[in-house]
Amino acid sequence: MRTFSLGKWLLPVYSVLALVFLLVPIAYTFVFSFNDSTKSNVQWVGFTFDKWLNVCDAQGLCAAFGTSVLVGLIATVIATALGTLMAIALARYRFRARSAVSLLLFLPMATPEVVLGAGLAAQFLTAGVPKGYVTIIIAHALFCLSFVVVTVKARVASLDPALEEAGRDLYGSPAQVFWKITFPLLLPGIIAAALLSFALSFDDFIITRFNNGPVETFPIWIYTAAARGVPAEANVIASAVFLLALVIVIVAQTTSAARRKRLAKLQ
C-alpha cells in the first residue's frame, strides 16, 4: 500500500506554479500584441496582424527601441572589454589593493539602482557634462562592468594553467599564447558576460531615468506610454525580443550539446 508523501509532490507543484507565474506575463504580452486596439491595450478588442506589420506606427516607439539597442551595444563593448581585462588581472596577478579593488567592483551589484543613478547624475552635474547619449552609455557601462568581471573571473579561475604552460614550452610568445589558447578558452565566459551586460543595459530604467536628459530609451518610452495605455505595438517589440532571446538560447544549447557529443566520440 502506497502512502502519500507531501515532500514528494511539494517540489514539483511548487516548480509548476513558479513556472506559470513567470510565463503568464510573457503570454499576456504575446497575446495582446495581436490585439486590434486603438489607444489602450488593456481590453481585448479583436485579433489582427496589423500591429506586427506596422509596428512603427506608434510615435517614437521604433526610435526609442533603436536608442536602447545602440546604447546597449556600445555599453556592452566597453564593459566587456574592460571587465575581461580586470577579471584576468584579479584572477591571475597579485598586486597592492587587490582585495579593495575586488570589493569596490562588487559594490555596484549590491547598491540600489536609485542610489547609483542619483550618484552618477550628481557627478555629471558637478562636472558640467550635459545629459544625453554619452551619460547614458557611461552609466550603463559602469554598472554592467561588475557583472562582466564576476562572470569572466569565474571562467578564468576554471582554466587549467598547464595548457598555457604547454604553449610557452612550445616557444609561443605571450601574445600567441593569449590569442591561441587563453582567449578561445575564455570566449564562452566572455560571450555570456556580454549577453548579460546587454540585457541589463537594454532593460534598465532607473539609472537611465536619472541620466538620460532628452534621450528616450525603450523602457522610458514604455513608462511614459503607460500613463495613457501601452499600445499593442510595444507588446510586439517585447514579444519579438523575447522570441529572439529564446532562439539564441536554443541555438547555443544545441551547439553546445553537439560539441560535447563530438568530444565524447573522440575520447
The reply to whether 42 falls in a domain is: no
Q: In which band, very low, low, confident or very high, does the pLDDT at 174 lie, cut at 50, 70 and 90?
A: confident
CB–CB of 79/148 below 8 Å?
yes
In a domain, 124, yes or no: yes
Summarize the confidence of residues 229-244 as an average pLDDT. Answer: 85
Read off the pLDDT of each residue in 8-19 and give the average, rounded to a whole number: 84
Mean pLDDT of 86-106: 83
pLDDT classification of 7: cutoffs 50, 70, 90: low
- Identify the pLDDT of residue 25: 86
What's the pLDDT at 67? 93
* Number of separate domains in the chain: 1
Domain membership flag for residue 140: yes
Query: Which pLDDT score is estimated for 66?
Result: 92
Cα–Cα distance between 101 and 157 in angstroms, integer? 17
Question: Predicted confidence band at 93 (pLDDT cuts at 50, 70, 90)?
Answer: confident
C-alpha cell at 116: 547609483
**Alpha carbon distance 212, 67 (integer Å):** 11
37: pLDDT strictly greater than 70: yes
In a domain, 15, yes or no: no
In a domain, 17, yes or no: no
| Of 80 and 95, more confident | 80
Q: Which domain holds residue 168?
A: 60-235
pTM of the model: 0.83
Confidence class of residue 12 from pLDDT cuts 50, 70 and 90?
confident
Does the pLDDT value for residue 171 go beyond 80? no
C-alpha cell at 49: 496582424
Radius of gyration of the chain (CA): 23
d(CA 142, CA 83): 10
**Predicted pLDDT at 210:** 92
Can you tell me the mean pLDDT for 132-151? 92
Note whether residue 262 is domain-resident.
no
- Predicted local distance difference test score (pLDDT) of residue 3: 58
pLDDT above 70 covers what percent of the chain? 96
What pLDDT digit, counting tens, does each position of 196-211 carry?
A: 999 999 989 999 999 9
Mean of per-residue pLDDT scores for the chain: 85
Name the phi and psi angles at 177, rounded to 5.
-65, -40
Q: Is the pLDDT of residue 35 over 80?
A: yes
Least confident of 109-113, 162-166, 205-209: 162-166
Q: Say which CATH number the domain at 155 has.
A: 1.10.3720.10
Model pLDDT, residue 137: 94
Is 70 exceeded by the pLDDT of residue 5?
A: no
Q: Is the residue at 85 inside a domain?
A: yes
Q: Provide the pLDDT for residue 75.
A: 95
188 within a domain of the structure (yes/no): yes
Q: What's the CA gap between 236 and 139, in Å, rounded?
A: 28
